[in-house]
Amino acid sequence: MIRMKKALITGVTGQDGAYLTKFLLDKGYEVYGIYRRLSTPNFWRLDHLGIFDKVNLIPADLGDAGSIVEALKISEPDELYHLAAQSYVQASFETPVATGDITGLSVTRILEAIRQNCKDIKFYFAATSEMLGKTGLLNGERPLNENDVLRPMSPYSAAKLYGYWITKIYREGYGMFAANGILFNHESPLRGLEFVTRKVANEVAKVSLDLSKEVKIGNLDAKRDWGYAPEYVEAMWLMLQQDEADDYVIATGEAHSVRELMEKAFDVVDLGWQDWTRVDKRFFRPLDVPSLVGDYSKAEKKLNWRPRVKFDKMVEILVEKECYRWERWLKGERFPWDAPNYTSEARILTRSLGM
């Protein structure tokens, strides 16, 4: 009898954790997910994908090495996907030390637990295009690849850079199967509301239904390479199916500015973006990566992976989903991820207000 493969996912309640869980369950995996105890349960993404009852949940915290060892013992995984992190760049300027610990140092806690207990586990680390930072200025000439210089511009990306290097060190030093996915931005209707794509989609839907009068936004000039999250989790899995561990850029190869995002999102609801937009300094960062575009040719060649949903389609999916949700909300339906449950941005006092 063929044994079902087992996967352990940290960050199972996040955007990628939920899509990866669904992807692996569809492949016949037994999936275990680490979640942290919160005062309010946070399983809405798993619920939305209809998989909440199919994933085995293990309470643990990235700050607590013992709980990670316990999760390994309970799940005995073949593959471990380390996705959990303080993942919001702007918040990393507010909580740089906690971000260093959870987003950076936790990678060593997990790698050490694997090294000491079960060295054969295949390990995936969610590295990021943000690590490229200032090197993004080269985007005027070409998309960036795995060999480009990493020059982080935020406490978040400095922490990820540490995680990326420690992953390579355990791979080379101890012969462990440890891969880095250098993923560029990837979005979906399950994105946290604070990230710019879902924030804009949500606000545009509200404007179109007369529930709001304007969208407040930060740096309109920033450019990102925005892909579609459900496609990116497949790339994570493909990295762990190779004979040898390696590092891969996953991207669409297209750059679009936040200005273009606004334009396209308002276009979906037949409105002109400039009539409804206000630039607000609270959404600027002490430092912001100006531009990021990725060259995914190594992943295409070695993993046979390529993006299918590009910018225009991705924005349409997000805006249409938010319009659908708000239309039903007006009829009295409620959803677990309802925006009214989020704190109004106007009441969040960040250090950017004093800049």
Interface ranges with ligand NAP (CB under 6 A): 11, 13-17, 36, 38, 42, 61-63, 83-87, 102, 126, 128, 183, 185-186, 192
Whose Cβ is closer to ligand NAP: residue 207's or residue 238's? 238
Give the number of residues in contact with ligand G4F, rule: CB under 6 A.
22
| β-bridge mates for residue 187, sequence order | 228
In 3D space, the residue among 325, 145, 124, 328 whose CA is nearest the CA of residue 236 turns out to be 124
* Nearest-approach distance from CB 197 to ligand G4F, in angstroms: 6
Active-site residue flag, 10:
no
CA 318 to chain centre: 15
Backbone angles phi, psi at 76, to 5 degrees: 45, 60
CA distance 119 to 111: 9
70/280 with CB nearer ligand G4F = 280
To the nearest whole angstrom, how small is the minimum distance from the Cβ of residue 184 to ligand G4F?
6
Binding of ligand G4F at residue 10 (CB under 6 A)? no
Q: Which does 320 bind (CB under 5 to 8 A by kind): ligand G4F, ligand NAP, none?
A: none
Cβ of residue 248: shortest distance to ligand G4F, in angstroms? Answer: 14
Binding ligand G4F (rule: CB under 6 A), the pick from 170, 184, 276, 305 is 184
Binder of ligand G4F out of 45, 199, 264, 325 (CB under 6 A): 199
- By CB under 6 A, is residue 92 in contact with ligand G4F? no
The single residue among 170, 283, 329, 337 that binds ligand G4F, judged by CB under 6 A, is 283
95 Cβ contact partners less than 8 Å away, ≥ 6 residues apart:
86
Of 16 and 78, CB closest to ligand NAP: 16
Is residue 219 within 8 Å of 284, Cβ to Cβ?
yes
Q: Which is nearer to ligand G4F, 29 or 266 (CB)?
A: 266
| 102 binding partner (options ligand NAP, ligand G4F, none; Cβ < 5 to 8 Å by kind) | ligand NAP
Binding partner of 285, given ligand G4F, ligand NAP, none, CB within 5-8 angstroms per partner class: ligand G4F
Which one from 156, 162, 170, 296 is the annotated catalytic residue? 156
Read off the tokens for 327: 């239309």
Residue 218 CB neighbours (<10 A): 18
Q: How far apart are CA 207 and CA 269, in angstroms?
A: 9
- CA angle at 202 for the pair 199 and 208, rounded to the nearest 5°: 135
Nearer to ligand NAP, 64 or 209 (CB): 64
CB atoms within 10 A of CB 202: 26
Sign of CA dihedral 88, 197, 303, 2: positive
Choose, by CB under 6 A, the member of 20, 83, 89, 235 that binds ligand G4F. 89
Active site annotation includes 128: yes
- Alpha-carbon distance of 173 to 227, in angstroms, equals 33
Mark whether 156 is an active-site residue. Answer: yes
Q: Which of 13, 21, 99, 128 is catalytic?
A: 128
Q: Which residue bears the tokens 């960040």?
A: 350
151 near 133, Cβ under 8 Å? yes
Least separation in angstroms between residue 195's CB and ligand NAP is: 7
Q: What angle do CA 243, 249, 253 make, to 5 degrees?
A: 135
| Interface ranges with ligand G4F (CB under 6 A) | 87, 89-90, 128-130, 184-185, 194-196, 199, 217-219, 222, 224, 258, 283, 285, 288, 292
